[in-house]
Chain A
Amino acid sequence: MSQVVFDPGMLLAILPEISLVALGIILLFVELLLPRDRHNVLGWITSLGLLFTIGISLAIGRPSEEPRLLWGGMIRQDWLGFIFKMMILFSAAVTALLVMELEGLGWRGETYLLMLASTVGMCLMASAADLIMLYLAIETTSIPLYVLSGFLTGDDKSAEAGFKYLLFGAMVSAVMLYGFSLLYGFSGTTSVYELASLAYQNNLSALVLFGALMLVLVGFAFKISAVPLHFWAPDVYEGAPTPIAGFLSTASKAAGFAVLVRVLLTAFPVISPFWGAILAALATATMTLGNVLALTQKNIKRLLAYSSIAHAGYTLIGVVAISTLGVTSVIFYLVAYIITNLLAFGVVTTIGRVTGSDDLASYAGLNRRSPGLALILLVAMLSLAGMPPFAGFVVKFAIFASAVESNLIWLAVVGVLNSIVGLYYYLIVLKVVYLYRSEDENKPLPIPRSYTIALAVLAVGIVLIGTVFAPWFSLSNAAAASLF
């Protein structure tokens, strides 16, 4: 391990993390000073603070063209990590806006603090280049999320969600750690970037490497909720407070993919045929299972949970392609997916807050009750289904293109067939919203201002990504190029 020599650039590399910690400290003090009934101001502060973090990182914290290993090889400053950090921060900012009007959640400072802690972890995950750093980052991410999932202590479902998530998470984390330790034992290094060359020098057998990788993959698959480690997602999403479920399905999943892509492609290129085959099978199973099980869901949060499992499957196709276009499309896909899924969960939060129900049946008559909200849900659903002019279309196109480019036509076919199944249940949601009548359709459906802002920004973002996609694609491309 190289000697740590301090230079100011190193601080810039972790600027988002520093800013987040500072924001957390500010929140602690503000909460003490605020009167009890003004606590949703904390949501505004968190959200604006996160946006400020994005702004300042874009202004002065951009990575240079040449990727650098910093802090003794703990983190790598490159465009891949940077783009993922921006996505994570954005997701957290939106979540803060959605959380703030929820009683029992948004009026307590702990919520925001836990969210920020988890966000710090995710940001570190995105740039971690060392197994130890990686493990710490993953734990920093997960532990606050366990708490947040079970935050509504009066609600049995929430408590169950938190506990389930914790138990599964802890078990998986132990398996993954075992994998890390094996990798260190065999290769003698914890650096992700040295692992490949050392393994090669030491003539490590592919089988050994593969075995250790399988253990590690367990942890990663859990994070991105890929089959067979997807089973926690529906229960946790259903029980957890809705914005938190949205946060889990976007930021946490993106961080998982950042790690997956980085570790697989830089540390294990030698055995890429092996893990490529495994991941192709996982992608197929994940897409199919997620979509098929989503068909029968009656609860919108469970439906979105299965849909998010399916989307992890689509995204995996890009990883399996093992090419620059593949990684580009993974990043591109995640950008679109995060915005779309946040919007979907945002609408669910808005409605659940008023009606107190997440059953699909309670969405009947929504178009007559609140045409604007119905339209926004339409945007989200069609984007998830992959319909133009929304973001979902062009990113799916990129993903399937990467599969065809790498001669994985069968995988592209599996993908498109799955998107047909997906279209079916997204259309069911729209049918309930637009066609069915309900007795409540004349009741008002108030939307707090923070929600309006969040939903409008996201909906516009979806259309923008779906129509003016060149800049987003180039950014993803730059990020993908920095990996290799």
Chain B
Amino acid sequence: MQFPILSVIVFIPIITALIILMIPAERKEEVRVTALAAASFAVLLSIWVYFSYDVQAGGYQFLDKVNWLPSLGISYQVGVDGISAPLVLLTGIVMFTGVLISWNIDDRPREFFTFLFILATGVFGVFVSLDLFMLFFFYEIAVFPMFLLIALWGWKETREYAAMKLTLYLFIGSVISLVGALAMYFTAGLGTFDMLAMEQAGFSATFQRIWFPFVFFGFAVLGGIFPFHNWSPDGHVAAPTAVSMFHAGVLMKLGAFAALRVGIMLMPEGAKFHMPWIILLTLVNVVYGAFIAMVQSDFKYVIGFSSVSHMGLVLMGFATLNREGLLGAGIQMFSHGIMTALFFAVVGMVYDRAHTREIPRLGGFRRIMPWVAVAFIIGGLVSMGMPGFSGFIAEFPIFMGLWNSHPWVAVAAIISIVVTASYIMRVVGRVFFGQVPEEFEGHVGDVTALDKLALVVLSAILIGVGVYPSLMVPLVQSGVNNVLRLLGGV
């Protein structure tokens, strides 16, 4: 038997969480070092998985299966394909940089890292699971630590409200999908929750058309689909920096990924039936999200709504159901994850030092924290889809696919690029350039070395994928082939 590397990745965080709980609360430094060590280990393993995935062979690799509840056909079954391998890597990177950026959390760091790592286990678990029950199991594990992380360490003004709103939204979504999943299980009559087997179940078209919306929307809530996106900007803004990074960077992908894996891949007929109108919803996401981001005066809300807009692109890519669209969506999940993690890191660094996020009150931060300014500009270019950055590699195929299937939607969606450019430029100009307001003169300092390390890692990845797309495109392509096969070679 080969080394169960995926299982190790899944269980490192939760085992670390338990170890951290054993450390006395006042020994904060030990807690942080343990957390960083575990996160480094996890990120190394996920890099290893990413690069040793055999693109030629394709399909699901690093498989591992243990019977969990044989009488109902539930098993612990893991494996990655070309779509989930980048997401595992993404989670590893965000976890690592998130720990770096949370170094200065002084209020109960032990509890903070414990919950953060439980969350990480949930996320890893969903990305690698090939069993429907297991997917839900880890999905829910990813939901509840969010509540405590936001409510305890979040922004005092809105944290209680935002934490509850977010948790209830996501839980509603997941339980609705759960009923759909149970209906699939009993209708398939295979007596197994194995998704690879259920792909072959051959659900009737009627069944798929009835149940697809439940399953798809249940998960897409977490992907931030309009009109169920409302929790997301509030949640992002209220959350502490590392949690915003995790949340916008990774958790929203969880929703999109599960919507793809359970919704589209298991019920392709339903997807074909419903996507024509769902694509209009995602169009609203893309364009409306961008416009709302433009009028925000709170720095963090700008980024929060930009996530709604960019996640709209991911779901839009899915909705095209063609090769280009799916490929772009797959890359966009990774690219947006890193980009938005970078954005939230920047916002957090500015806020921690300036104690305000009101864009009109900020200015000239380029001089105070040059690294942060450069990082934000890189992120901004990614977000506008500039060639040479990962955003281009992701968005261009999405628009291509869209042009193939729905030209008019493509025309409308492209407006968002202009709007994105305008809100990014506005933030860059107002926050990082211009005069430093007098109130910040003197006492606002530069960021720490750990912060810089996090920014460099994230920026480097965005540029790396942008200038050398072969790092990712063939991999995602192999995953997309599998989806297309299920869709009947559209």
Residues of chain A whose beta carbon lies under 8 Å from any beta carbon of chain B: 367-368, 371, 375, 382, 385, 387-389, 393-394, 397-398, 400-401, 404-405, 409, 412-413, 416-417, 419-420, 423-424, 427, 430-431, 434-435, 469-470, 473-474, 477
Residues of chain A within 8 A of B259, CB atoms compared? none
A90 to chain B, nearest CB (A): 22
Residues of chain B within 8 A of A397, CB atoms compared? 133, 136, 178
B175 pairs with A419, CB closer than 8 A: yes
List residues of B (231-282) whose CB comes within 8 Å of A's CBs. Answer: none
- CB of B113 closer than 8 Å to a CB of A: no
**In the complex, which residue of chain B has the Cβ closest to the Cβ of A410?**
B179
Residues of chain B within 8 A of A474, CB atoms compared? 71
- CB of B51 closer than 8 Å to a CB of A: no
Residues of chain B within 8 A of A388, CB atoms compared? 136-138, 140-141
B400 to chain A, nearest CB (A): 39
The 8 nearest A-B residue pairs measured at CB: A416-B175, A404-B182, A388-B137, A470-B69, A387-B144, A388-B140, A405-B186, A388-B141
A427 partner, pick from B25, B167, B178, beta carbons under 8 A: B167
- CB of B151 closer than 8 Å to a CB of A: yes
Contacts A424-B164, A435-B152, A474-B71; is A400 near B171 (CB within 8 Å)? no
B168 pairs with A423, CB closer than 8 A: yes
- CB of B414 closer than 8 Å to a CB of A: no
A416 pairs with B179, CB closer than 8 A: yes
Interface residues of B, count at CB 8 A: 36
- CB of B450 closer than 8 Å to a CB of A: no
B111 pairs with A367, CB closer than 8 A: yes
A470 partner, pick from B70, B108, B167, beta carbons under 8 A: B70
Q: A-facing mask of B99-140, CB < 8 A → 1, else 0?
A: 000000000100100000000000000000000010011101
A269 to chain B, nearest CB (A): 23
Secondary structure call for the B interface: helix
Residues of chain A within 8 A of B69, CB atoms compared? 469-470, 473
Known A-B contacts: A394-B137, A416-B178, A470-B70. Give 9 more (CB < 8 A). A371-B111, A375-B21, A388-B141, A393-B137, A412-B179, A419-B175, A427-B147, A427-B164, A430-B148
Contacts A393-B137, A424-B168, A434-B152; is A401 near B175 (CB within 8 Å)? no
- CB of B219 closer than 8 Å to a CB of A: no
CA of A389 to CA of B133, assembled, Å? 12
A-B contact pairs, 24 of them (CB 8 A): A385-B144, A387-B141, A388-B136, A388-B137, A388-B140, A393-B137, A393-B140, A394-B137, A397-B133, A397-B136, A397-B178, A398-B72, A400-B182, A401-B72, A413-B179, A416-B178, A420-B171, A424-B168, A430-B147, A435-B152, A469-B69, A470-B71, A473-B71, A473-B72
A377 to chain B, nearest CB (A): 12
Q: A-facing mask of B328-364, CB < 8 A → 1, else 0?
A: 0000000000000000000000000000000000000
- CB of B207 closer than 8 Å to a CB of A: no
- CB of B205 closer than 8 Å to a CB of A: no
Residues of chain A within 8 A of B133, CB atoms compared? 397
CA of A34 to CA of B434, assembled, Å? 84
List residues of B (370-397) whose CB comes within 8 Å of A's CBs. Answer: none
CA of A354 to CA of B206, assembled, Å? 60
B167 pairs with A423, CB closer than 8 A: yes
A227 to chain B, nearest CB (A): 22
Residues of chain B within 8 A of A430, CB atoms compared? 147-148
Residues of chain B whose beta carbon lies under 8 Å from any beta carbon of chain A: 21, 25, 67-72, 108, 111, 133, 136-138, 140-141, 143-144, 147-148, 151-152, 160, 164, 167-168, 171-172, 175-176, 178-179, 182-183, 185-186
Residues of chain B within 8 A of A473, CB atoms compared? 69, 71-72
CA of A420 to CA of B111, assembled, Å? 25
A409 pairs with B183, CB closer than 8 A: yes
**In the complex, which residue of chain A has the Cβ closest to the Cβ of B140?**
A388
CA of A414 to CA of B65, assembled, Å? 34
Residues of chain B within 8 A of A394, CB atoms compared? 137
CA of A407 to CA of B222, assembled, Å? 28
CA of A371 to CA of B68, assembled, Å? 32
CA of A368 to CA of B182, assembled, Å? 41
CA of A477 to CA of B143, assembled, Å? 30
B176 pairs with A416, CB closer than 8 A: yes
Residues of chain B within 8 A of A424, CB atoms compared? 164, 168
Residues of chain B within 8 A of A400, CB atoms compared? 178-179, 182
CA of A434 to CA of B152, assembled, Å? 7
CA of A416 to CA of B182, assembled, Å? 12
A434 pairs with B171, CB closer than 8 A: no
CA of A382 to CA of B140, assembled, Å? 11
**In the complex, which residue of chain A has the Cβ closest to the Cβ of B110?**
A371
A401 pairs with B182, CB closer than 8 A: yes
Residues of chain A within 8 A of B71, CB atoms compared? 470, 473-474, 477
Residues of chain B within 8 A of A427, CB atoms compared? 147, 164, 167
**In the complex, which residue of chain A has the Cβ closest to the Cβ of B182?**
A404
A427 to chain B, nearest CB (A): 6
Residues of chain B within 8 A of A368, CB atoms compared? 108
Residues of chain A within 8 A of B21, CB atoms compared? 375
CA of A430 to CA of B143, assembled, Å? 15
Contacts A430-B148, A434-B152, A435-B151; is A412 near B140 (CB within 8 Å)? no
Contacts A420-B172, A423-B171, A470-B68; is A404 near B160 (CB within 8 Å)? no
Residues of chain A within 8 A of B72, CB atoms compared? 398, 401, 473
B137 pairs with A434, CB closer than 8 A: no
**In the complex, which residue of chain A has the Cβ closest to the Cβ of B133?**
A397
B168 pairs with A420, CB closer than 8 A: yes
CA of A140 to CA of B144, assembled, Å? 43
B137 pairs with A420, CB closer than 8 A: no
B134 to chain A, nearest CB (A): 10
B390 to chain A, nearest CB (A): 34
CA of A419 to CA of B148, assembled, Å? 19
A387 pairs with B182, CB closer than 8 A: no
B370 to chain A, nearest CB (A): 37
A389 partner, pick from B141, B151, B178, beta carbons under 8 A: B141
CA of A431 to CA of B171, assembled, Å? 17
A434 pairs with B183, CB closer than 8 A: no
CA of A416 to CA of B143, assembled, Å? 16
B160 pairs with A435, CB closer than 8 A: yes
Residues of chain B within 8 A of A416, CB atoms compared? 175-176, 178-179
CA of A307 to CA of B80, assembled, Å? 40
B141 pairs with A404, CB closer than 8 A: no
Residues of chain B within 8 A of A431, CB atoms compared? 151, 160
A401 pairs with B172, CB closer than 8 A: no
**In the complex, which residue of chain B has the Cβ closest to the Cβ of A401?**
B182
Residues of chain A within 8 A of B148, CB atoms compared? 430, 434
CA of A424 to CA of B168, assembled, Å? 7
**In the complex, which residue of chain B has the Cβ closest to the Cβ of A424?**
B168
Contacts A397-B178, A469-B69, A474-B71; is A404 near B183 (CB within 8 Å)? yes
CA of A19 to CA of B445, assembled, Å? 74
Residues of chain B within 8 A of A413, CB atoms compared? 179
B144 pairs with A420, CB closer than 8 A: no
Residues of chain A within 8 A of B179, CB atoms compared? 400, 404, 409, 412-413, 416
